[in-house]
Structure 1
Amino acid sequence: MTAAHDRTGAGGDPSDTPLKKAAYDRFQQALLQGRLRPGQVVSQKELVTLLDMSIGALRELLPRLEAEGLLHVMPKRGIQITSIDLPMIRDAFQMRIALEREAVLSALRKMPDEVLQAEEQKHRGLLDQLTARGDPPPEFFDQCQDIDSAFHDLLISATGNDLIIQAYHVNSIRIRLIKLDRIRLTRRTLPSAFGDHLAVIKALRARDAAAAVAAIETHVRNARDRAIEL
């Protein structure tokens, strides 16, 4: 569980009841596990069965999910899971740049050198494994994806701002959907992605604000451009 997740819970709202939080978690996991696909249209009955929740719990959850842009309720037609299209990709990555720019500035002031050094070692260790392995198994790239997500969560948690953390959490669901659909880490993309991370870490360790902001903006734009190309 990430630091950002710890602070606010799955939905990011400390006022969530356990039942509402569980319902939100189930929907999120269904998305990220591919049991709900971007653009898919389902009925309330199908969604109740899939998420194993009551119709009342679903109806309480739907307004929030629609407000967060994760689905669209179409009267008498069903519920459409948000589609991955160019406007969605551009909007999600633009928001990510805004949030992570603030995150690196906070990390610059607050994050200890030993934490940054540990992150650097993790990234370099996985890059070394990639070089040493002829054909890494899928589990290796799953591990790399976890390190990738945890690094960004670590930066966001440095803000100590619950509103930023909540906004990031909602947007990160969109980003993770885009990654699952278009830009999962592979032998080809991992060196570039982790190389961008290392540039951010280097700037943070040097306490160079301009370089840190430039590095995170470059990283997010590179990810956006890979998604748009596909």
Structure 2
Amino acid sequence: MNEAIKGELLTDKAYQALVSALRTGTLRNGQFVSMSQLVDLLEYPIAPVREAVKQGSAQGFLSTLPKRGVQVLEASPDIIRECLDTRMVLDQEGTRRRISGGDLEGLDDLQRRHETLLEEATGDSAGHLPSKAIRVDLSLHDYLAEGLGNSQLAAAYDSNRIRIAIIQNARPFLHDRIVSAMEEHLAVIDALKKRDAAAATAALKHHCDQTLRWWGVVA
């Protein structure tokens, strides 16, 4: 393997490690880290880490501060509003395309997963379900993004998905929000099953507005 290919592979691995750290909350909302700290955290050499940081900066979930280091996206009200608005627009278009193309395979499984979590959350007064709730929550948004059928739109969704993960880690699911979020998702799924694009896009707008309120942002 030549050095150029080896360097590209290391950069890809460093970038995936960076994304994982952001999604899991190892790197947190607004956190500042030096490049040497980031090298230690990701466990990759400085060159691929620098390239990974460049990619992260280009996609908007990191900021590079010259001669100082790197800062993780800070979940300000404007950033939260823009990220959720972006997701809603992509979700709504994915919904329209799935319905118009008749591509609704997998909806029954999605519905079952949401109904199961809703039942568990309703009976779990201690609210011990946040990590599962995030996975189920993302499953619907991923499903709608897959319906876009466009690689550039899919890339935009993936990048925004990382930004939203940073926000979610700053304000994790609590019991009451798990219940209401699953109910909002089930309304979207029901409209999809009925092939009612207007109802589905309206349900997605409602879900976006409620999520903004949960995160303390006026819609």
Q: Quote the residue 1:5 is aligned against.
A: none
**The one of 169, 186, 195 aligned to 1:207:** 195
Asked whether 1:196 is paired with 2:188, we answer: no
What is the aligned counterpart of 1:181 among 163, 170, 173? 170
CA deviation profile, 1:148-183 (whole Å, cap 9, x unmatched): 11121111111221111110010011111111111x
Shift of 1:143: 1.8
Q: Which residue of 1 aligns with 2:130?
A: 141
Q: Which residue is 1:20 aligned to?
A: 11
Whether the 8 Å contact between 2:15 and 2:53 is mirrored in structure 1 is: no
Pair 1:215–1:17, CA change in 2 (3 A): farther
Residue 30 of structure 1 and its aligned partner are, at CA, apart by 1.3
1:185 to partner: Cα distance: 2.4
Displacement of 1:133: 3.8
Who is 1:220 aligned against? 208
1:10 corresponds to which residue?
Answer: none
Alpha-carbon deviation of 1:188? 0.8
The answer to whether 1:78 aligns with 2:69 is yes
SS of the residue corresponding to residue 212 of structure 2 reads helix
Map residues 1-230 of structure 1 onto 2, 5 A cutoff. Answer: 17-108=8-99, 109-112=101-104, 115-136=106-127, 138=128, 140-182=129-171, 184-229=172-217
CA shift, 1:123, in A, is 1.3
The two structures, once aligned, show a CA RMSD in angstroms of: 2.0
- TM-score normalised by L of structure 2: 0.88
Question: Do the aligned partners of 2:110 and 2:140 also contact (CA within 8 Å) in 1?
Answer: yes
* Pairwise CA distance, 1:220: 1.6
Work out the number of aligned pairs and report it: 211
* Deviation string, structure 1 residues 81-136 (Cα, Å, up to 9, x no partner): 22111111111112112111111112223333x62222222211222223334435
Give the fraction of aligned pairs with identical amino acids, expressed as a percent. Answer: 33
TM-score (norm 1): 0.84
In the alignment, structure 2 segments of 5+ residues that lack a partner are: 1-6
CA distance in 1, matches of 2:203, 2:29: 30
AA paired with 2:18?
A: F
